[in-house]
Structure 1
Amino acid sequence: MSEVLEPVRTPVRRLHRPLLLMVASMVLLLVVSAVGMVVDDRVLLGAPVWGKPLKFAVSFIVYGLTLAWMLTLPHRASRWTWWMATLLAVTGMVDVGVVVVQAARGTFSHFNQADDPFTDGISLIFGVGVQLLMLANFVLAGLLIFQRVGDRVLTWAIRAGLAFVVAGIGLGFWIPARSSEVWTAVDAAGHAIPLGARHNVGVPDGGPGLPLTGWSTVGGDLRIPHFVGLHGLQVMLVVALVLGLLAGRVARLRDERIRAGLMIVAAAAYAGLIVLVTWQAVRGQALIHPDGQTLGALALLIAATTAAGWAVVVAGGSPGRTG
């Protein structure tokens, strides 16, 4: 049923060990953060201080396992990808470590501009780690996007997914670039802390938010497109997996060209979704309270995706080259 089903068959010994070490550390952090959510009642901007470490742990577990599996697929420049994944694993643990330290201190890890030696030092470490993490992701994407990895369907899933990761990173850097004014927030101990950026649009950071994610329910939130982009790789791989499973039941989908064409359509639709949630956020609109324009754009995206998918099935694999 194609290489997309390999995750359940890949021996653990073939997986990238530094990434597995990072994942193991994140699993431990997930447990610690979950306990912290229960026993530590301190909050930052209305959210539990251990909420951010928990979210980072989950995100790095998912991404680390995904990348560790991807690197078991035959590909060129495997030595480069191994070292870039190792850099990602190390910098990921360092950066999340900073998030944990700041959470334990009851203060902010991101955009913290408090004028004290410890914060200066830890912010420097965090900043360098973010830059190296970005470099590792960009090099990995550059190495893997322009080669065939697996069958056509999986290749397009990986190409699109890595492009979305890069877009998600860019959207993350856009947050401080777009809202670079310094403002003051109160940490868990009641101290006023200067912060160098805001992620909400139209409303102050903090306030009512969705469970777990904390995304604003009263205004725009730039963390949403950042998240959607970063996890596009997992979404694309799931789509490829579903198409592979359906191929065993639907005769038309046994044609690899058709599945590859549908994969391209799914990738285009997901790119449209990233644009849509970004547009919604910059207009100061909460994700769960879309206006008529947002709903109209979503309906148009769904209709275009449906039409394109139907055209691919009827035409037998187009639009475009699927190789």
Structure 2
Amino acid sequence: MEFDDYRKQPLFWNGIAMAVLTVAILPLLFLDTRTLLGANVWIKPLKFSLSLGLYSMTTVWVMVKFLKDWKFNRRIQIALTITALIEIVLITFQASRAELSHFNVTNIWNQIVYSVMGTSISIFWAFHLWMGYSIFRKESITKSVKESLVWGMFIAGFGMIIGFFMTTPRPDQLEAMKQGIFATSGSHQFGSGDPGEGILFFGWSTKLGDMRVPHFFGMHVMQLFVFLAAYLINKKDSILNQTMVRIMGVLFLTINIFMVIQTLNGESIFHFNAFYSSVYGIFFLLIAVCFCKLILKSNVIRNEVTV
């Protein structure tokens, strides 16, 4: 695929913008010592710029490779780009003010920011699913490749929708709002007590449930499936390949669902629990077996070219 094909894509330039922002933020981690909830104020925009940049670059490859002739291609990319930019601009602006971007309803401005971010990411999610559905409908895509792309996008969509668990106001927050006290609305933390020391850079709790973990996991499993699809493009298609990809999709989705349940129960995914830890261990082992079968069996080069 010619590089010129990518230079014409809005999502490609969105990915470049996120890379530039990432580079710009890095010095601020050392120059600006302000903290918010125990973390440097620039950690959050850095995490989002990396996440959105990775999403943009993998998604634009999918759009150019498999949906180049789709009449809604450019409109979808523009919608994803605009909503992603709204999200990162507001997160970065709030970070510069040392203010929370999420769950912050302390004043009118912060309420507007939080509301606009929620609306933009909802639109982002809808267009993401529309793109995934179009891949599902595309008959010219090799079946095993399509399986990989659809599973990746579906699980990413599930990972995104998990975010709404975090935005739901808690009973104590609703009670405070009734009394005219506006502080926070929603939280990524589930359970009560000491959250423990957060994991380096990510800040995820090691003791209490932290919905950011399944949210992140679900969204970025998509990249694994896109890379797998890229590997399978030039391989001979077979029922075995389709079956292995489908099993991997079911396993990854099930892991994500168990992560959500464990988090809602107020327990960190990084806290050892005999049941959940066994499930994760067994499922990841099965995923590794499926992946090895794909690598070992998918060694015949295909002569067809996917359009």
Give the TM bin, normalised by the shorter chain: 0.7 to 0.9
Match for residue 212 of structure 2? 223
**Number of residue pairs matched?**
290
SS at match of 2:244: helix
Task: Map 1:236-315; keep pairs closer than 5 Å.
Answer: 236-241=225-230, 254=236, 256-302=238-284
Match for residue 44 of structure 1? 36
Match for residue 251 of structure 1? none
Match for residue 165 of structure 2? 174
- Gaps of at least 5 residues in structure 1 are 1-9, 184-191, 248-253, 317-323
**Cα offset, 1:55, TM superposition:** 0.5
Q: Distance in 2 between matches of 1:51 and 1:149?
A: 42
Question: Which one of the candidate residues 139, 145, 152 is aligned to 1:154?
Answer: 145
**Cα offset, 1:214, TM superposition:** 1.1
- Gaps of at least 5 residues in structure 2 are 175-180, 299-307
**Cα offset, 1:60, TM superposition:** 0.8
**Cα offset, 1:157, TM superposition:** 0.8
Identity %: 21
SS at match of 1:79: coil
**Cα offset, 1:125, TM superposition:** 3.1
Q: Which amino acid aligns with 2:243?
A: G
Q: Which amino acid aligns with 2:158?
A: A
1:97-153 Cα shifts (integer Å, max 9, x gaps): 00000000000111210124x334433432332232222223222322333463222
Q: Distance in 2 between matches of 1:48 and 1:294?
A: 32
Alignment partner of 1:164 is 2:146: no
SS at match of 1:54: helix
For the aligned residue pairs, the C-alpha RMSD in angstroms reads 3.0
CA contact (8 A) 1:46 1:207 kept: no
Q: 1:113 to 1:152 in 2, by over 3 A?
A: same
TM-score (norm 2): 0.83
Q: 1:304 to 1:129 in 2, by over 3 A?
A: closer
Match for residue 185 of structure 2? 196
TM-score (norm 1): 0.79
Match for residue 3 of structure 2? 12
**Cα offset, 1:287, TM superposition:** 2.5
Alignment partner of 1:213 is 2:205: no
CA contact (8 A) 2:195 2:207 kept: no
Query: Which moves more between the two structures, 21-30 or 304-313?
Result: 304-313
**Cα offset, 1:161, TM superposition:** 0.8
Q: Which amino acid aligns with 1:277?
A: M
Match for residue 58 of structure 2? 66
**Cα offset, 1:309, TM superposition:** 8.0
Match for residue 70 of structure 2? 78
Query: Which moves more between the two structures, 295-304 or 15-24?
Result: 295-304
CA contact (8 A) 1:203 1:220 kept: no
**Cα offset, 1:240, TM superposition:** 3.7
Q: 1:174 to 1:124 in 2, by over 3 A?
A: closer
Q: Which amino acid aligns with 1:166?
A: G
Q: Distance in 2 between matches of 1:306 and 1:119?
A: 45
SS at match of 1:209: coil
CA contact (8 A) 1:198 1:205 kept: no
Q: 1:28 to 1:181 in 2, by over 3 A?
A: farther
1:224-268 Cα shifts (integer Å, max 9, x gaps): 1111111121111233455679x6xxxxxx553322221111111
Alignment partner of 1:138 is 2:129: yes
